[in-house]
Amino acid sequence: MKTTGLGTDVSRTALVRRARKVVRVLGVVHPDARCELDFTTPLELLVATVLSAQSTDVRVNQVTPSLFAAYPDALAYARADAAEVEEIIRPKGFQRAKARSLVGIGQALVERHDGDVPARLEDLVRLPGVGRKTANVVLGDAFGVPGLTVDTHLGRLARRLGWTAEEDPVRAETEIGALFERKDLTLVSHRLIFHGRRVCHARRPACGACAVARWCPSSGVGEQDPDVARTLVRGEIVDPEA
Residues known to be catalytic: 133, 151
What distance in Å separates the CA atoms of residue 181 and residue 90, rounded to the nearest whole number? 40
Reported as type and span, the H/E element at residue 9 is strand 9-10
Rg over alpha carbons for the chain, rounded to the nearest Å, is 19
Beta-carbon contacts of 77 under 8 Å, excluding residues fewer than 6 positions away, are 47, 71, 85, 102, 103, 105, 106, 107, 109
What distance in Å separates the CA atoms of residue 13 and residue 48, rounded to the nearest whole number? 38
∠ at Cα 175 (170, 177), nearest 5°?
A: 90
DSSP code of residue 155: H
What is the separation, in whole angstroms, between the first and last Cα of the chain? 36
